[in-house]
């Protein structure tokens, strides 16, 4: 949700033509496709018993942690995290660097400020979750 609406609305609200790094924006979009494919293929494997839609393996036995489907799921989450980090860097740099010089942060809309705060929090939390 943040990426889709952010890519569409942030350039209009900051009065720019495009985001600050368009190639990084493209990369973050194209990283979501292999992430989604890995996530779906890991959930389709028969080895992944008891994990369900929450992607949380049962903690009763070590046999669930040794399967390739759990590793595919974790790798898929890492790829999605890389995509989110790239989008966050792009949104922060667009909001802070490409706005008009007479346009202060207090003049930004509530949506733009919420995207800015959310992306800062995402940049702080995702490296901790991935490590």
Residue 10 lies in a domain: yes
Q: Compute the residue count for the chain.
A: 131
Residue 124 lies in a domain: yes
- Taking only the tens place, the pLDDT of each residue in 114-125 is 999 999 999 999
Residue 118 lies in a domain: yes
**Mean predicted lDDT score pLDDT of the chain:** 83
Give the integer Cα–Cα distance in Å for 70 and 45: 10
Domain total of the chain:
1
Residue 93 lies in a domain: yes
Please tell me the predicted confidence (pLDDT) of residue 128.
84
- Taking only the tens place, the pLDDT of each residue in 47-88 is 656 666 676 766 666 665 667 777 888 899 899 999 999 999
- Is the confidence at residue 45, as pLDDT, over 90? no
Average of per-residue pLDDT across 38-54: 73
pTM: 0.83
Please tell me the predicted confidence (pLDDT) of residue 92.
94
From residue 24, alpha-carbon distances to 49, 79, 110, 125 in Å are 37, 14, 25, 20
The answer to whether 78 touches 130, Cβ cutoff 8 Å, is yes
Residue 52 lies in a domain: no
Residue 88 lies in a domain: yes
Residue 53 lies in a domain: no
Domain span including residue 121: 2-45+60-130
Residue 121 lies in a domain: yes
One DSSP character per residue, 10-67 reads: HHHHTT-SS-S-HHHHHHHHHHHHHHHHHHHHHHHSTT-TT-GGGT---SS-GGGTTS
Percent of the chain whose pLDDT exceeds 90: 40
């Amino acid at each position: 949700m943040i990426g889709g609406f952010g890519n569409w609305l942030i350039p209009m609200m900051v009065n720019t033509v495009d985001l600050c790094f368009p190639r990084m924006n493209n990369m973050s979009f194209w990283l979501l496709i292999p992430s989604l494919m890995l996530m779906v293929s890991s959930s389709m494997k028969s080895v992944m018993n008891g994990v369900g839609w929450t992607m949380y393996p049962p903690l009763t036995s070590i046999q669930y942690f040794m399967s390739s489907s759990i590793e595919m799921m974790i790798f898929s989450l890492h790829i999605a995290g890389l995509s989110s980090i790239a989008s966050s860097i792009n949104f922060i740099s667009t909001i802070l660097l490409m706005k008009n010089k007479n346009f202060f942060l207090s003049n930004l809309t509530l949506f733009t400020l919420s995207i800015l705060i959310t992306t800062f929090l995402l940049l702080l939390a995702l490296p901790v979750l991935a490590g």
